Amino acid sequence: MQDGTFLSPAYLDVTTLDGAPGATGRRGDVFARNCPTRQLLDRVGDKWSILLLGMLGEGEMRFSALKRRVDGISQKMLAQTLRTLERDGLITRHVEPTVPVSVTYAITPLGRELLGALQWLIDWAETRMGAVAQAQVAYDLRMAD
């Protein structure tokens, strides 16, 4: 990161999937518009995705169970987020044709990989959110003069 790896033109390949090397000349554009950070954030940047992925990391679970445990989520956002996660290949959806129907969600290996990468962020939050909160207090005091 410090050497700017995530600014590199290689990201274009990830984004376009055709990897046109001729278009990788202008570094600034690559940074701003085609960085996979954008796509990544679409997935992990909303408040429910990580929560649901974390829940399913504990084991497969049904719609109603997820709704109960991830308290505060609306069924709209639950259904919507689950669909996105499924489409991204991060979780699977299994329909048991009972009456009434029963649907079970489970994390995929790809999803578990993401969860693993996320762990570093979680660890940082665990250990450093206190420092962030302190910085905020200090900042607010400095500005309150």
Residue 60's binding partner out of a second copy, DNA, none, with CB under 5 to 8 Å set by partner kind:
none
Cis peptide before 109 (omega within 30 of 0): no
Q: How far is residue 43's CA from residue 70's CA, in Å, rounded to a whole number?
A: 18
67-101: b or e for each residue (b if 16 or more CB lie within 10 Å)? beebeebeeebbeebbebbeebebbeeeeeeeeee
Applying CB under 7 A, among 4, 22, 97, 100 the residue interacting with DNA is: 100
Least distance in angstroms from the C-beta of 67 to a second copy = 11
Rule CB under 7 A: say whether 79 interacts with DNA.
yes
Under rule CB under 8 A, residue 131 binds a second copy: yes
Among 47, 123, 135, 138, binds DNA (CB under 7 A): 47
Tokens of 56: 């399913």
Query: Shortest distance, CB of residue 2 to a second copy, whole angstroms?
Result: 5
Q: Least distance (Å) from a second copy to the CB of residue 26?
A: 10
- Enumerate the β-bridge partners of residue 107: 91
Contact residues for DNA, defined by CB under 7 A: 46-47, 62-65, 72-77, 79-80, 82-83, 93, 100-104
